[in-house]
Amino acid sequence: MKSTVLVMVAAGMFIAGPVAAQSAADLVKSKNCMGCHDLEKKKVGPAFKDIAAKYKGNKEAEAKLTAALKSGKGHPAKVAATDAELKTLVQYVLSAK
Ligand code: HEC
């Protein structure tokens, strides 16, 4: 019984990766990021593409931006999202091209 649960958890983790990546575009919409941002164009905030270019090669970018969105310091809007969601959002922004 215990091992069945472990296998299910492991399978869930395996599936969660690709699914999270696919739903990132939906997540930025559902968190209203697109009200101020656009992938390609500057709106109220900078284009995600430009942010990705600005932080290209910066290993600290993910941690820094996650903290900024979470606290509302360094970002005008405080984002209500779980840590996992924030991670997905930031990875999505940083992978925009
Ligand atoms: C109320 C408008 C608004 C909303 C909503 C918003 N942003 Fe922003 N965002 C901005 C503005 C304005 C800036 C530019 C801030 C600056 O350069 O000081 C910015 C900057 C950023 C940056 C770059 C910060 C940096 O240090 O360069 C990231 C990443 C970002 N936003 C992600 C998001 C994500 C993800 C969401 C949705 C969860 C979101 N934003 C929702 C207005 C918004």
CATH number of the domain that residue 53 is part of: 1.10.760.10
Q: Is the entire prediction scored with pTM above 0.85?
A: no
User: How many domains does one find in the chain?
Assistant: 1
The number of beta carbons lying within 10 Å of the beta carbon of residue 47 is 17
Cα 77 to averaged position of ligand 1 atoms, centre (Å)? 7
Kindly report the number of other CB atoms within 10 A of residue 28's CB atom. Answer: 19
**Which protein residue's CA is at the shortest distance from atom 3 of ligand 1?**
36
- Whether the CB of 36 sits within 6 Å of ligand 1: yes
- Convert the pLDDT of each residue in 39-92 to its tens digit: 999 999 999 999 999 999 999 999 999 999 999 999 999 999 999 999 999 999
10 in any annotated domain: no
Q: Is 33 in the pocket of ligand 1 (CB under 6 A)?
A: yes
Distance CA(45)–CA(51), nearest Å, equals 10
